[in-house]
Chain A
Amino acid sequence: MLTLIARRFLAAVPMLLGVSIAAFLLLHALPGDPAQSILGQRATPENVERFRQREGLNDPLPQQYARFMDNALHGDLGTSHRTNRPVLDELKERVPATIELAFFATLLAAVIGISLGVLAAVRPRSIWDFLCLGFALIGVSMPIFWLGFLLQKFLSGTLKILPFGERLDIAKWPGFESETGFYLLDSIFVYRNVELTLDVMHHLLLPSLVLATIPMALIARMTRANMLEVLSQDFIRTAKAKGLAPRQVITRHALRNALIPVITAIGTQFGYLLGGAVLTETIFSWRGLGTYVVEAIDALDAKPLQASVMVVALVFISVNLLTDLSYAVIDPRLRHSGGKTQQAVPGIGWLAFAPWAVAGLPWLSLLVLVLLKSTGRIEPGNAAFDKAMHTTWIALGAEGLALLVVLAVRGLIWQAVSSIREMAVTTARHGLAAVKDLSRFLLGHKPALAGLALIMLMLVAAIGAPWIAPHDPMQGLDVYNHPASSEYWFGTDSQGRDLFSRLVWGSRTTLRVALAATLLSLMLGTIVGAVAGYFGGAADSFFMRGIDFMMSFPSFLLAVVTVAILGKNLDNLIWAVGLVGVPLFARQVRAEVLRVKALDYVESARALGFGRVRILATTVLPNCITPIIVLATLGMGGAILDVAGLAFLGLGGDPFVPEWGLILKHGWDQSSKGAFQVGVAGVCILCTVLGFNLFGDGLRDWLDPRSRRV
């Protein structure tokens, strides 16, 4: 166990180092002059120059990094130019607020999710089961800010039973001063005041409930699945045969075994909630870390942003570390292995990968340059950029030429062509057979069919937008806030634009952005996962440590910070959502490649003397493709929610582009007149995400023989 703890702690060290470098570089990655980002736009040029000299911003980067770390380790995280307060003081208030909220959300999610999952599993095909599955599906498909709005309107506005937001009514408790930052702990242990404690809990309830929705759905679903599996096992039958009461069988035998992976999931979810709380905090004016980051981005306030990134990663890594350790405590196998994970097949090694890594450099350079260009970070006519682009193209050309020469010299051109043809034929044959089988399966799977119908509906709207939408979505019609009528089916908005047309065009924008983001994740994730999984060894370590590093940030928060670096723009959301989705695909692809490359037919291909790349491309990857498609389908739903969430936070740039998240946000800003707009935009998002999730689940069931039996 001690070895395991030491191993995990040691593994966290390079991660923390990487996080500190990323946080440091963030200052230079933000748009504009770093000194101006620290001092704010109001600072005069003289002050900026003086500050640059004093803080050594003209020094070499390693020197600046050393100073940055020295200050950070001495508790000096700088001062916010927006609030003129030390960042450390602000974090002392903000971090506990988010942890408190995430903790209660996790608690709610665990208690309700596990209860619902157990009920559903114990009474399969009952109303409970139906409720559990329905809730699990809708829960993960719901735009959280929309749910927050609806619950706030109903529970706080109409019924007046819960407060609108904030952590405490400071007007009621003017002398309240938090000593720990955790209001609940303060109320219980410092003030020991029942009324105050109840007031704090009263304020916590609604935001926690909203934040808990997605993890609750996941936990309920996971508990149900695990319970069903455990309940069908022999030892449960034995327990029943012994005459144990059903309640004892469930609580003492089944639940205990089913909960092991659920507990790990709960830990992971807590980590994600720390970053995922941005939207909930915004809706409920919860002054936590999420709103702190958004406020810092709004004001391009560099120091709070740097510090927040470090703190979030630190907390996130710690939570994951604790989860790992707790899992080791629960699962003795892990404890005895000292934390070493078994690799299915020994890797081929770093040397085998090295030529490909060199060959990949120009491609990486091209990717970075395209990213810089497409996000508007490079002014037209920038000489350095043009030179870099020129060099990259020359390198790529040389690479292509070298490949042709090598192939020609070795007489392999015909072999390469046949490899490509073979890959296409294999994929087509495999794909065709799969489509036939899937069609047969789907005909008997009503939820997946419903999901497919929803997706098709949205796709038809997206493709046919120019013909379906009666009006231009960007052009004002000089009819403002017109109610729904035969001419304007959903009425017009405050800008005189036809709402129905905007929603129809919105399907195109939203699906385009989400699809592009998913494809980006898929493409990069597949390359990384395939290379890491197939070549193994150092290549695997290199890529997977990078992936682990990305996963040391909550994904939504990482997307928020990425947009801050790239600039607020709808197209930049593609990069933000796409890049943060890479780890998910990379890990899945790696796992699949590891599984497939150990199979006999791959060994046979190797024995026949096929090249490594040929085996990877023609034999391994086509056999991994189906689960990746399932993941991409489910990933589309997540991408739509992420894009809408980022747009809702005002990170989508122009607020009047027809995109569902932006349409919803515009309605949100319109007070009473925007309620209908908020409603229909929310329904569009919900239905589309639901469609992808239903269809994705169907695909997963199709792949899983056990589900087919059920």
Chain B
Amino acid sequence: MKTLGITLGLTALLLAVTACGGGKEIEKAKVEEVLTLLRGDESAILDPHATNSGGDANLFQQMYEGLVRPSEKPPVLWEPCLAEKWSADAEFKVYTFQLRKGVKFHDGAELDAAAVKRSFDRCRNIADPAAPPNLPYASDYFGDIVTVEAKDASTVVFKLTDTNPKFVANTGLFSASIVSPKALEAMAKIPEAKDREAWLTRHPAGTGPYTIADPSDYKDASTITMTAFEGYWGGAPAIKRVVFKQSKEAKQRREQILAGEVQVIDSPAPDDWAELRAAENVELYSWKAENLCYLALNCDQKKGFITANPEVRKAIAMAVDRDPLVALYAGTAVDHHVLLPPVTLGFPQGYMPSTDKGPLADRIAKAKEMITKAGAEGTVLRLLMPAVPRPYLGKPPEIGDLLRLQIEKIGLKIELERQPMAELGVSMRDGVAPLVLIGWMGETGEPDDFWRPLLSGSNGPSNNNAARFFNAGVAEKIDAALQDRDISKRRQMYEALEKSVHEEFRPIVPLLSAMQAVAWSKKVEGLYVDSTGTYRLHKARYKGN
């Protein structure tokens, strides 16, 4: 009793001390000025040129901008952003962009043609003094740039090696974000590549509506506070602060938005969509995304995995049953058998690879025979997958486990291993495992956005090519399909590519294409998800404000 009395007394005393006031000033944020957003991802590196994580894109698009930006609503169209207008020569080899005037970077620098040139020099050249250690998009998207020229203060000219009708879309990718030359100059003086890469994380220097105003606002990879950039050319945002917090478990995110503790959550679990839709205080926005979840089979002969044998790859493809995988998405995903999503040009309507046809039991029996014939029976294969959910891969361990159960039926043994995204990116680049469960999100609506990074590259597999598949003949056809200006011919070329690659090589086993969703409080309006699936916050506001 006495202990209780002492404790209560002490508490009262402390509160009395507190109530006396006179301490350091602290302002309580007005509810209508702050937005708290829970996401499944964490962002260890906030350098738009250095990462390839779709989850990070949602942060970059608040802080950085490209020359163009995607339309608010699908289909994906490219609209003026930092460039007011642009034009291309007749061969689509020279592009000229006219920049918007009066745009400032977060660090006070002016946007001009020299700044654009400097930024593009960095994002495509690993030897640039300000470059991070990794430029995952450089070769696939900017490898064809010969020169970037600042013709005058507001005119930038890009000269390309070859015809590229989709180059404008490439300049709208987050990896083509324009970074302040002042910041790049500071970064160039940092000796360690790793420290250079980390610098932008706490000192963002874009032109977007939000910025990290104080380095301490980036608490760590899981808690980041962004502050409205009052000098934003599109008008200062109404919401003055956005707090991005990581909450790995979808269940926690659901509970917190239902309880009204946070205003936005991304990647709600498909199982929870119905409940969120029915909730009085929550708006659920879902869309058919341009994405693909697939199993990559390592084709690199030098690595010595049994998956280098096309017969083994086909056998694995035959063992896969997509129905239970799709069932995990509670009606928010469709099974998928080819590379391109159905919404993309060149999707081969009605085609299904021969490995996926026929009753499952027959396929498994045949696959078993093929494995025995290849002498691969009992081989242990390591299957890598992301440690955290991805928009196309909501439940990595569950999908991985189902694949294990299915593939083990044909006489192979599977070892599952989860890796953080940054580490998985390196593992994919180095081709360290025979199997990788991963996915891809298209950002431009272009078929080349899938073919080049996933099944091609320049003179070898690209960094994102998890199957380490590179065939000169296929690469030529991919180039040709990109460069042709006749849309119907392009469609035919991509359809033919699908058929030949899957029948002949089967480097990947496409599994499904998932819908995506974001849920937000009904108290908030103006927030939207653009046509590429990135959420945009600059127009968000609390209703009635």
Q: Which residues of A contact B (CB under 8 A)?
A: 39-44, 47, 81-85, 90, 107, 110-111, 114-115, 118, 152-153, 156-157, 160, 163-164, 166, 170-177, 187-197, 251, 255, 285, 287, 298-299, 475-476, 478, 480-481, 494-496, 654-656, 668-674
State the Cβ distance, B274 to closest chain A Cβ, in Å: 9
Q: Does B543 contact A (CB under 8 A)?
A: no
* Sample of 10 more A-B contacts, CB < 8 Å, known A42-B426, A174-B243, A192-B23: A84-B201, A164-B255, A171-B29, A174-B241, A175-B26, A191-B26, A192-B17, A197-B18, A480-B328, A669-B249
Cα of A478 to Cα of B256 in the assembled complex, Å: 33
B14 & A188 in contact (Cβ 8 Å cutoff): yes
B504 contacts chain A at the CB level, 8 A cutoff: no
Given A44-B133, A192-B22: A494 touches B398 (CB 8 Å cut-off): yes
Q: Which residue of A lies closest to B250 (CB)?
A: A671
Q: Find the B residue at minimum CB distance from A201.
A: B11
Please classify the interface of chain A as helix (H, G, I), strand (E, B), loop, or mixed, using the class held by over half of its residues: loop
Residues of A contacting B372 in the complex (Cβ-Cβ under 8 angstroms): none
Of the residues A81, A85, A173, A655, contact of B29 by C-beta under 8 Å: A173
Q: Is B21 an interface residue (CB 8 A)?
A: yes
| Contact yes or no, A42 B422, CB < 8 A | yes
CA–CA, A160 and B44, complex, Å: 32
Which 7 pairs, one residue from A and one from B, show the smallest C-beta to C-beta distance?
Answer: A192-B23, A671-B251, A671-B269, A84-B198, A171-B36, A41-B423, A171-B243
Q: Is the CB of A196 within 8 A of B26?
A: yes
Contact with A along B461-474 (1 / 0, CB 8 A): 00000000000000
B261 touches A673 (CB 8 A): no
Contact of B3 (CB < 8 Å), options: A84, A111, A196, A480: A111
Please measure, in the bound complex, the distance between the C-alpha atom of A189 and the C-alpha atom of B20, giving whole angstroms. Answer: 10
| B225–A170 CB distance below 8 A | yes
Q: Say whether B405 contacts A476, CB under 8 Å.
A: yes
Q: Which of B134, B327, B387 meets A480, CB within 8 Å? A: B327
Once the chains bind, are A177 and B216 in contact (CB under 8 Å)? Answer: yes
Which residues of the other chain, B, contact A299 by a CB distance below 8 angstroms? 420
Chain B nearest CB, measured from A87 CB (Å): 13
Chain A residues with Cβ below 8 Å from B425 are: 42
How many angstroms between the C-alpha atoms of A153 and B255 in the bound complex?
8
In chain B, residues 216-265, which have Cβ atoms closer than 8 Å to a Cβ of chain A?
A: 216, 220-221, 223, 225, 241, 243, 245, 247, 249-252, 254-256, 258-261
21 A-B contacts, Cβ less than 8 Å apart? Answer: A41-B419, A41-B423, A90-B220, A111-B7, A115-B1, A152-B255, A153-B255, A173-B28, A173-B29, A174-B27, A191-B26, A195-B28, A196-B28, A476-B324, A480-B327, A480-B328, A494-B395, A496-B324, A671-B254, A672-B251, A674-B251
Which residue in chain B gives the minimum CB-CB distance to A112? B4
* A164 and B4 contacting across the interface, CB-CB below 8 Å: no
| Most chain B beta-carbon contacts within 10 A, residue among A174, A188, A194, A481 | A174
Interface contact A191-B24, CB-CB below 8 Å: yes
Encode contact with A along B178-221: 1 for CB under 8 Å, 0 otherwise: 00000000000000011100100100000000000000100011
B278 within 8 A of A: no
**B31, closest chain A residue (CB):** A172
Across-interface contacts of A118 in B (CB, < 8 A): 1
B420 engages A170 (CB within 8 Å): no
B23 touches A190 (CB 8 A): yes
A85 to B216, CA, bound (A): 12
Does B501 sit within 8 A of A, measured CB to CB?
no
Complex Cα distance, B398 from A496, in Å, reads 10
The CA-CA distance from A111 to B243 in the complex, in Å, is 37
Interfacial residues of chain B within 421-436, with CB under 8 A of chain A in the complex: 422-423, 425-427
Return A53 CB to nearest CB of chain B, in Å.
15
Q: What residues of A have a CB within 8 angstroms of the CB of B401 in the complex? A: 495, 655-656
Q: B397 and A670: CB pair below 8 A?
A: no
The reply on B2 being an interface residue by CB < 8 A is: yes
Chain A residue with Cβ nearest B17: A188
Residue among A84, A191, A475, A655 facing the most chain B CB atoms (10 A cut-off): A84
Complex: A654 Cα to B426 Cα, angstroms? 23
Contact in complex: B271, A670 (CB < 8 Å): yes
> Which partner residue on chain A sits nearest B247 by CB separation?
A285
Whole-angstrom CA separation of A671 from B265 in the bound complex: 14
Tell me whether A164 and B256 are in contact in the complex, defined as CB-CB below 8 angstroms, given that A175-B26, A176-B26, A654-B416 are known contacts. Answer: yes
User: In the bound complex, what is the Cα–Cα distance between A699 and B419 (angstroms)?
Assistant: 47
Is B272 located at the chain interface by the 8 A CB criterion? yes
Contacts of B108-135 to chain A: CB distance below 8 A: 133-134
CA separation between A170 and B220, bound complex, in Å? 14
A186 CA to B225 CA in the complex, in Å?
21
Q: Please name all residues of chain B whose beta carbon is closer than 8 Å to the beta carbon of A672 when the two chains form the complex.
A: 251, 254, 269, 271-272, 275
Residues of chain B lying within 8 A (CB to CB) of residue A153: 255
Across the interface, A189 reaches (CB within 8 A) one of B23, B252, B275, namely B23
Contacting A at CB under 8 A, from B341-362, are none
- Bound Cα distance from A496 to B397, whole angstroms: 14
Closest A residue to B426 by beta carbon equals A42
Chain B nearest Cβ from A486, distance in angstroms: 22
